Amino acid sequence: MSIFRAAGGAGCHGAGTARLQERENTATLKDMKKIAIVGNPNVGKSVIFNSLTGAYVNVSNYPGTTVEVSRGKGRFGDAGYEVIDTPGMYSLLPITEEERVAREFIMEEKPDIVLHVVDAKNPGRMLPLTLQLIEAGLPVILDINIIDEAERVGLEIDTRRLEEELTIPVVATSGISGKGMDELKRRISEYKAGKAISIAYNETIEKCIKEIEDQLKGEYIFSRRAIGLLLLQEDPEILEIVEERERTIERIKEIISKIKSVHANPFHFSITMRRQAVAGEMLKHILKSRRPDRVSFQEKLNRMMINPVTGIPILLVAVYFGLYQFVGVFGAGTLVDFLEEVLFGEYINPFFIWVFESIIPWPVIQDLFVGEYGILTLGLRYAVAIILPIVGTFFISFSILEDTGYFPRLAMLVDRLFKKIGLNGRAIIPMVLGFGCDTMATMVTRTLETKRERVLATLLLALAIPCSAQLGVILAILSAKPLALLLWAAVVTLVFLLTGFLAARLMPGERPDFYMELPPLRLPKLTNVLAKTVSRMQWYLMEVIPLFLLASVLIWAGRLIGLFQLVIRGMEPLVKIIGLPEDTALVFLFGFFRRDYGAAGLYDLQQEGLLSGNQLVIAAVTLTLFVPCIAQFSMMLKERGLKTTLGIILFIFPFAFLMGFLLNILFSFLGVQL
Amino acid sequence: MTIDDRAEEILESLWVGTEEMGREEVSLDDLGIKEEDKALQNLISQGYVSRDNDKVALLKEGRDEAEGTVRRHRLAERLLVDILDVKGELVNESACKFEHLLKKGIDDKICTLLGHPKLCPHEKQIPPGICCKETRESGVKLVSPLTGLKPEQSGSIAYLASRDSKKIKKLMSMGVLPGNRITLVSGFPSYVFQIGYSQFAVDREMAQNIYVRVEGEGRS
């Protein structure tokens, strides 16, 4: 699941290198040979891509990191190649959106070489896709990757012999350590398509494919045999393509429905079984394994993570150190203090103020740049001194956890709970990411399988997941009163679960299946963690910060023409109802422009001692639930459309205040004094 | 006290109508017979069923007999599909003839051969026989859904029970295919299993569809 899917062409998949190269070379790219990297999820396609091109796209130990095609350039032998990374696919017959993207891509781009990357630990499971690719008449090179891990668990693969059996080039590599990469590049530069093997299916199927093949007259990227097989397996996209090109489509449909009526198992099943059997037979002599006697440390840790008794304490430890200590105390505390007070407070802001006051005579313009809410003094200061350290430390923590392979295990632990709120374990990734940046998390919800899940996840992110900027400030405000902090956390968690539960009831739809590979636990590589953090920060700076600067301008304009005062006056009674001083109306208004503005405004009020403990909790809860920031709002519009977004906002706005109101009543009823 | 094949068919339809569809009685029309049908008269005289105008009800005495015929029919279907690889319409046709051959005792032998399956190929319950109850009590399960395994227990995948082709595709993409070895790693809060060197987590609904021929008892 990439955090960096191109968002309307502006965002990017990895660091900018690949894109820049592409722009520079669009003229020559046409003459270059194309290599498409395909394969199951989490086999290291992106690592191979990075190694072949020298570019960087996001890599993590999580199936489905890449959800979009990314391109780069490489030179092997005497020729330049365009290298293209694709999302993971299990089979040429797609189930998920990513698989569809990958297959469509192959059909449209007609690559000169299809590099099939497989996990050396599981050739038996992945070789059937190689067979399918060969069957489709594609020019395949097989890359047996992660060979080092396979050797460690005692697996030996005779690549020479496999090459003979498959009649295509086979190379063993370890993308991370670089082992075998030179060999791979050599084989790419020497590649010549040849006659490849073909699998025979049972008589019924063969006869039927033959009949369909005879009807196919159009040009296809895949072999007619493969098209016939996909039609037999009722592939809707292929059927559509064939419908466009064949006049005899009715006849083809007839052939298929005739054979279906006398076949008990779905064809998909028989065909997959046959490929599996062929692959198994092939590997019998090629794969040697000695089983290690002892259970590895990784496996022991794995067992602890997936057992709730030990898994929940592990989660708490991860949250405590990864989130609280590193992001909260170090990022939001130490770093922010230094940047905000020392760097900006003593140097940058005074400098800007001095510059603008000396060169621009008009106070109104001065105000825009260096005033109380100025673009530089407030907008930039907040962006660099508050957001950057908090979000940055969060992304580091997140990347480390991601690379260890912890998230799929967490997904497995929370699946039952998430089912109750209409989601499944897979949604853990956008939810955790939301604690970093809800805008980014909202974008990532597109990797969820059904529309219903995407809408529910978007709602919950907007309502009850505080982003790191907000979280940092709220932690700072409430940390002096542990009971208040606990209460805030409890209320927000309750709202998260309850809203999810009710929304899932109100929005009927199919129950999502949970199925997920648990990749092996790995020690994260520092370089990869940093590269990923940098590329996420880059995204953040490009997508979110401009909106924040825009917010500064809007606030300036709003104050200038008196619109803000009007809105604030309108909100004051509302704020009073929930038991807060009038001044907090401003906090809520700013909260929309930027969540952290709101929270930071609250911080100022608390510093001035204007709020009691009760009021702090009410304000923190209401502000957390209250509408998302302007960046998240625009991402919601982009991802979910106007209707859904308005629906969500219209629910959240009154609901946040209702919760504040209820808390206020509850406090006075119970006589709570925090 | 013997009943002929035709009478067995009537009992079968009655059982399905009353036990599975929850009706009190089944009309003659639905059974596709006439009032004066010989087999029906025979069943009434043996005290297996009763007739009230055009409604036929299954009596307590006839229930066991009827359940037996349903069991034999569905076991026959499993046998035809799983072992003999018969397909399509032929399954039902043959099963209708086959079931009458599986007289007392033979059905249990077939049932044991098949590993005491719980569902027929159409995903209907197969009424358990004495053999199923005995094996359950002795703790030996031959074929069981993955949800019935204990952690660390392994076996080879016998079949996938779902008719939902999307679910089947998802399972197959993880290498859950008949014949492959599978080990249950953990059964709570979700099901984690291992195939080859890969581990997967699935929810209960997915795990239920994986039927495993269990190899030995795991540690409990």
Which tens digit of pLDDT belongs to each residue from B155-200? 999 888 776 778 888 898 888 988 889 999 999 899 999 998 889 9
Per-residue tokens: B71: 């069991």
The residue among B172, B181, B208 with the most chain A CBs within 10 A of its CB, best to mutate, is B172
Q: Lowest mean pLDDT: which of A58-72, A379-393, B140-154?
A: A58-72
Q: Which of A264, A272, A412 sits opposite B192 (nearest CB)?
A: A412
Q: Which residue has the tokens 């035709």?
A: B6
DSSP output for A130-150: HHHHHHTT--EEEEEE-HHHH
Mean pLDDT of B40-65: 87
Minimal CA separation from B7 to chain A, in Å? 29
B91 contacts on A by Cβ (under 8 Å): 264
Judge: A153–B197 Cβ closer than 8 Å, yes or no.
Answer: yes
Q: Which residue of A has its CA nearest to B175?
A: A125
Minimal CA separation from B17 to chain A, in Å? 25
Per-residue pLDDT of A476-507, as tens digits, reads 788 778 889 899 999 999 999 999 999 999 98
How many pairs of residues across A and B have Cβ atoms under 8 Å apart? 121
Residue ranges of the domains in chain A? 17-189, 203-262, 308-670
Per-residue pLDDT of A455-476, as tens digits, reads 999 999 999 999 887 887 788 7
A425 contacts on B by Cβ (under 8 Å): 190, 201, 203
Q: Is the alpha carbon torsion for A661, A663, A669, A672 positive or negative? A: negative
Helix (H, G, I), strand (E, B) or coil at A371: coil
Minimal CA separation from B200 to chain A, in Å? 4
Nearest to B209 by CA among B175, B164, B174: B164
User: Which position has the higher pLDDT, B136 or B34?
Assistant: B34
Mean pLDDT rounded to a whole number for chain B: 83
Per-residue pLDDT of A229-256, as tens digits, reads 999 888 888 999 898 888 888 888 888 8
B88 contacts on A by Cβ (under 8 Å): 261-264
Rounded to whole angstroms, the Cα distance separating A88 from A68 reads 10
Cβ(A56)–Cβ(A531) below 8 Å: yes
pLDDT band at A94 (very low <50, low <70, confident <90, very high): confident
Judge: B86–A264 Cβ closer than 8 Å, yes or no.
Answer: yes
The pLDDT, as a whole number, for residue B140 is 56
pLDDT at A415 over 70: yes
The residue among B93, B167, B177 with the most chain A CBs within 10 A of its CB, best to mutate, is B177
For A122, phi and psi rounded to 5 degrees?
Answer: -130, 50
Which one-letter amino acid corresponds to residue A295? V
The pLDDT, as a whole number, for residue A455 is 94
Mean pLDDT of A104-121: 92
Helices within A427-525 (DSSP H only): 428-434, 438-444, 451-464, 468-478, 482-506
Rounded to whole angstroms, the Cα distance separating B41 from B209 reads 43
**For residue A54, is it left (φ>0), alpha (ψ between -120 and 50) or beta?**
left
The residue among A257, A271, A412, A428 with the most chain B CBs within 10 A of its CB, best to mutate, is A412
The pLDDT, as a whole number, for residue A24 is 44
Which one-letter amino acid corresponds to residue B194? Q
The pLDDT, as a whole number, for residue A542 is 83
Tell me what percent of chain A is helix, strand and coil, each rounded to the nearest 5.
Answer: 65, 5, 25
Cβ(A132)–Cβ(A91) below 8 Å: yes
A409 contacts on B by Cβ (under 8 Å): 201
pLDDT band at A596 (very low <50, low <70, confident <90, very high): low
User: Which position has the higher pLDDT, A407 or B118?
Assistant: A407
Q: Lowest mean pLDDT: which of A378-382, A622-626, B8-12?
A: A378-382
Domain covering A203-262 in this structure, CATH number? 1.10.287.1770
A262 contacts on B by Cβ (under 8 Å): 87-90
pLDDT at A27 over 60: no
B87 contacts on A by Cβ (under 8 Å): 262-265
What is the DSSP code (8-state) at residue B119? B
Mean pLDDT of A504-532: 88
pLDDT at A3 over 70: no
The residue among B173, B174, B185 with the most chain A CBs within 10 A of its CB, best to mutate, is B173
Per-residue tokens: A256: 């298929």
For B195, phi and psi rounded to 5 degrees?
Answer: -130, 125
pLDDT at B208 over 70: yes
Judge: B186–A306 Cβ closer than 8 Å, yes or no.
Answer: yes
Spacing of C-alpha A465 from chain mean position:
17
Q: Which residue has the tokens 């969060």?
A: A394
The pLDDT, as a whole number, for residue A112 is 93
Mean pLDDT of A426-446: 89
Judge: A514–B167 Cβ closer than 8 Å, yes or no.
Answer: no
Mean pLDDT of A385-406: 90
Q: Is the complex ipTM more than 0.85? A: no
Per-residue tokens: A510: 């199919």
Mean pLDDT rounded to a whole number for chain A: 85
Minimal CA separation from A264 to chain B, in Å? 4
pLDDT at B220 over 70: no
Cβ(A311)–Cβ(A305) below 8 Å: yes
Q: In this prediction, what percent of chain A has a pLDDT beyond 90?
A: 34
pLDDT band at A658 (very low <50, low <70, confident <90, very high): very high
What is the DSSP code (8-state) at residue B193? E
Domains parsed from chain B with CATH numbers: 1-139 (1.10.10.10), 143-214 (2.30.30.90)
pLDDT band at A66 (very low <50, low <70, confident <90, very high): low
Minimal CA separation from B160 to chain A, in Å? 10
B185 contacts on A by Cβ (under 8 Å): 303, 306
The pLDDT, as a whole number, for residue A64 is 58
Mean pLDDT of A622-631: 82
The pLDDT, as a whole number, for residue A1 is 38
Residue A299's contacts (CB-CB under 8 Å, 6 or more residues apart) are none
pLDDT at B113 over 80: no
Domain covering A17-189 in this structure, CATH number? 3.40.50.300
B171 contacts on A by Cβ (under 8 Å): 515
Highest mean pLDDT among A129-133, A257-261, A343-347, B140-144: A129-133
Q: Which residue of B has its CA nearest to A280?
A: B180
Minimal CA separation from A150 to chain B, in Å? 9
Q: Which chain A residues have any C-beta within 8 angstroms of a chain B C-beta?
A: 90-91, 93, 95, 119, 121-122, 124-125, 150, 153, 155, 261-266, 268-269, 272-273, 276, 302-303, 306-308, 408-409, 411-413, 415-416, 419, 424-425, 511, 513-518
pLDDT band at B18 (very low <50, low <70, confident <90, very high): confident
**Helix-then-strand count for chain B, H and E:** 9, 9
What is the DSSP code (8-state) at residue A520? P
The pLDDT, as a whole number, for residue A135 is 92
Judge: A122–B196 Cβ closer than 8 Å, yes or no.
Answer: yes
Q: Which of B81, B168, B192 sits opposite A306 (nearest CB)?
A: B192
Q: Lowest mean pLDDT: which of A191-205, B134-148, B174-188?
A: B134-148
Is B156's Cβ below 8 Å from some Cβ in A? no
pLDDT at B207 over 90: yes
Q: Which residue has the tokens 């996420």?
A: A536
Q: Lowest mean pLDDT: which of A433-447, A487-501, A569-583, B114-128?
A: B114-128
Q: Which residue has the tokens 């319409």?
A: B89
